[in-house]
Structure 1
Amino acid sequence: MLKDVLPAKSMVISVLMCCVVQLGADVIGEVRAGDPDVVFYRIKANKILFLGNSITRHGPAPAIGWLGNWGMAASTQDNDYAHRVLKAIAQAAGREPQAIIANIASFERQYTTYDADSALEKELAFKPDLVIVAMGENVPALTTEPARTAFQASTNRLLRRLRENSNPVLVVRSCFWPDPAKDAILKQACEEVGGVFVEAGARAKDESYFARSERQFSHAGVAAHPGDRGMKAIADAILEALRTKQP
C-alpha cells in the first residue's frame, strides 16, 4: 500500500533538513554562435534550465553521509534525472545543449517572500529555451486554505516570471512523494502558463524506486530519495512529455 512505502513524517522532516544547501548556478557546456540548434522532437533546447530541490541537485553533506554534488541519492552524477535528460537530448539532437542545474529549495521554504529576480538572477540571464521545474517536496503541508492560496499565488508568480523571461517550453513535475494539495496547485499553475505537467508521484507506490532499495544509507532522509531506478523513471516521464508535446 502507498502508506507503507511513502516516507514517515519524521523521515520527511529529516529530508527537509537535508535540503538546506543552496547551490550556485554553474553553466554546463557551450553553445556557440552559428552552431545549429539543439532540437529534441521539434523543441528547441540549446539552453536548458533545471530548477528543483535535493532530488535535482544537492552538494556534499558529510554529516548525513552524502558526498555527491548531483541529484540525491543517485549513485553517480550520470544517473540523476537531470543528467539523464541532458544525455537523451544530446543523443537525439547529435550535439550537447548548455544547461544550468540549480537548487531552489529556498523557494519551497520561503515561497511567500521569494524574489525570483534576485534569487534567480543568473538563471534568468541564461535565457533558457527549456525550463524543467521539479519542486514541492519541501513545502510544508498545505493544511489550511490560506496556506494553499499563498502557495498557489507564489507558484503562479514564479512560473509566469520564467515564462515571460525567455518564452521557454516549461515543464513542471509533480512531487515524487505524492501530495494531492501541492500537486493540484503545481498542475494548475503549469497549465495557466501553457506548460507541460508531468505526473511523477505514481513511482512512490513502488518501493524499488527509492534509493533505500538499492543500497544502504546512514541517513533515512537520503535513503527516501529516488535511487537510480527512480531517477530514470522521472527522466523518462519528462522525456516522454517532451516527445508528445504538440508544437
Structure 2
Amino acid sequence: MAKSLTSYLDNANLPAVDGNALANALNEAADEATTGGASSVDYLSFSGKSGEYSLGRDQSGIDPDQLYLVEPHSFIEGWLCWKNSKPIARIEWSVLRRAEQSVHKDSLEDHGPYRESSGEGWQQLLGFGLLTCDNAFAQVKFSSTSKSGRNSIGDLMKAIGVRSAAEEPDMPMIYFGATEFEAQGNKNYKPLLDVEAWVSRESAAAFLAGEMSKADLIDGHTPKKKRKKAAAKKKRK
C-alpha cells in the first residue's frame, strides 16, 4: 500500500492545481456526498415506539394519503449495525442475487462492545424501492431491521411472489400506515403496507410515461395498443 501510494504521489501526470482550487474541489465533493445532494433517493424509516415515519435527511413525516408504486425487482436484504442508538455500518444486496452476494452474520466486522439490552449490534435488514404516484415520481427506499417491520415487508414479498408465479399483475401500489400491538406488556407499532391495487409492469410504464391516469392505473386498465405505422407506399414506376 505504501509503495503504491508513493508511486501515485510521484506521478507527474497529476493535474496541477493551486491550494484554493484543491480546497474548493474537496469541499464541494464532500458537501455533495454528505448532504445527499448527489442522491435522487429519499430514505424512509419507521419507529416502532412512536409509530411514525421519517423521510430523508430532515426526517420529515409522510402524507398518509400518498400512494406509492413498488418495484418488485428492488427488494434488498442485508445487515445493519446499531450502536448508541445510531446505525454505524450497513451491508446489503439484491434478493435476486443472494446466492452470490449474501453475507453470513459470523463474517461481519465486530463493532462492539454492544449494549445487548438495547438491541445493539448487527440486525437483519429487509427493504425495497418505490416511487411516489404524483407528478414528482420521487424515488424512495424503505427498510427495517425490527422483527415486526421485517414481517410486514416479508408478507408483501410473499404476496408479490404468489402473483408473479401465477403471471398476474405483481406491482403493488401501497399506502404506508401503522398498526398497534402489545409485546411483553409494552405498546409498540409496526408498519402497515396497505395494498390499494396490483398493476402490471406494462400499465405502470404507461402511467409513468404520462399515457395513463392514476385512476385508470388503480382501476386495472391496460395501456392502449399503439397503432402500427402504415406500410411505406410503393414507389411509382
Would the TM-score normalized by the shorter structure come out above 0.5?
Answer: no
Judging by fraction of residues, say which structure has more helix.
1
> Bigger relative contact order, structure 1 or 2, given CA contacts below 8 A and separation 6+?
1
Q: TM-score, normalised by structure 2?
A: 0.26
Judging by fraction of residues, say which structure has more strand.
2
Q: TM-score, normalised by structure 1?
A: 0.25
